[in-house]
Amino acid sequence: MRTVARVLIGILILTAAGFLAYGMLVPATGTKTDKGSLSGAVEALFAASFPDQTGTAQSLDQWRGKVIVVNFWATWCPPCREEMPELSAFQDQYRSRDVVVLGISTDDAAKIREFAKESPTTYPLLSGDFEAMVLAESFGNTKGILPYTALIRPDGSIASAYMGRLDMKILEKDVIALIAAHKQL
């Protein structure tokens, strides 16, 4: 009887691990998600303040009026780490066009500081801790998948959201469209 219980517990653990791995790996192409009615999410973003890698609190409101690529990530997440050099290059390419990439981590500031020593980025890394996942959920990440990225228009509305590792060509196409639309206003 104990052997059967151990086998069942083992199967449950393996199943749970499989679902977690599936959730992290399957949406690895930056699948766009339905943004639905997420108007309160952006106001929550601009009301938030998170410490950067030095521990200094950064109000997210300072980036209002720009095209913002909000990337939710964690130091333990392989797809998150893989896309960070691409996001840095993207930030370098579009910084002068009023585009900012923000990396909001589910880790504490100390872990981000250590990570940044190994893998520096050209965009701000902020420590959202548990609040980061709550904020990501308000942006439509109901599955808790990392990385998760939201694209915010200069007027503060959500243009797109992407589950999993970003496809930089899709992100670039979407950002260029936002820049063009903003210039027409």
* Helix 78-94 × helix 2-25 angle, to 10°: 10
Q: Which is catalytic among the residues 45, 77, 158, 166?
A: 77
Separation between Cα atoms, residue 148 and residue 151, nearest integer Å: 10
Catalytic: 80? yes
Separation between Cα atoms, residue 139 and residue 161, nearest integer Å: 8
In order of 133, 137, 161, the CA distances from 40 in angstroms are 15, 12, 15
Q: Which is catalytic among the residues 41, 42, 69, 80?
A: 80
Catalytic: 121? no
Helix (H, G, I), strand (E, B) or coil at 170: helix
Sequence-separated (6 or more) residues with CB below 8 Å from residue 142 = none
Catalytic residue numbers, as ranges = 77, 80
